[in-house]
Amino acid sequence: MSPNAGHLIRGLRDPDQRGVGRTVQVDSGLDSLHRLIELEVAAKTIQAVDLQFIPGLLQTSQYSKALVHASHPSLAGAEIGRRAMLKATRQQVFAFRALGDPSKPPNVKAHFVLGEVSIISCIRSELEVHHAQLSYLLELAQQGHLTMQILPMGKVPPGCASHFTLYTLEGEEDGETMRHQVGFMETIMGDYYSTRENDVRRLESAHAELAREAMSPAESGLFVEEVLLSWQPS
Q: Are the C-beta atoms of residues 99 and 143 closer than 8 Å to each other?
A: yes
Which of 97, 81, 84 lies closest to 26, judged by CA? 84
Greatest mean pLDDT range, 149-158, 177-186, 203-212: 203-212
Residue 49 CA to residue 164 CA, distance in Å, equals: 5
Average pLDDT over residues 8-25: 67
pLDDT of residue 190: 76
Q: Which residues contact 3 (CB under 8 A, 6 or more apart)?
A: none
State residue 153's pLDDT score. 92
Longest dimension (CA), the chain: 65
Q: Do the Cβ atoms of 116 and 150 come closer than 8 Å?
A: yes
Q: What is the pLDDT of residues 200-217, one digit of tens each?
A: 999 999 999 999 999 999
Per-residue pLDDT for 64 more than 80? yes
Instruction: Single out the residue of 59, 43, 60, 138 nearest to residue 97, CA to CA.
Output: 43
Name the β-bridge partners of 178. Answer: 171
What pTM was computed for the model? 0.86
The rounded mean pLDDT for the chain is: 84
Supply the pLDDT for residue 170. 82
What pLDDT shows up at residue 22? Answer: 72
For 101-140, the pLDDT digits (tens) are 666 666 788 999 999 999 999 887 788 999 999 999 999 8
Q: Greater confidence, 7 or 104?
A: 104
Contact between 172 and 234 under an 8 Å Cβ cutoff? The reply is no
pLDDT at 193: 86
Confidence band for 18, pLDDT divided at 50, 70 and 90: confident
Strands (E), the chain: 20-22, 43-50, 109-115, 146-151, 163-173, 176-187, 190-194
Which CATH entry fits the domain spanning 20-97+106-230: 3.90.25, 1.25.40, 3.40.190, 3.30.870?
Answer: 3.30.870
Q: How far is CA 125 from CA 63, 67, 78, 89, 150, in A?
A: 11, 11, 21, 25, 22
- Rounded Cα distance between 228 and 147, Å, is 19
pLDDT for the residue numbered 9: 61
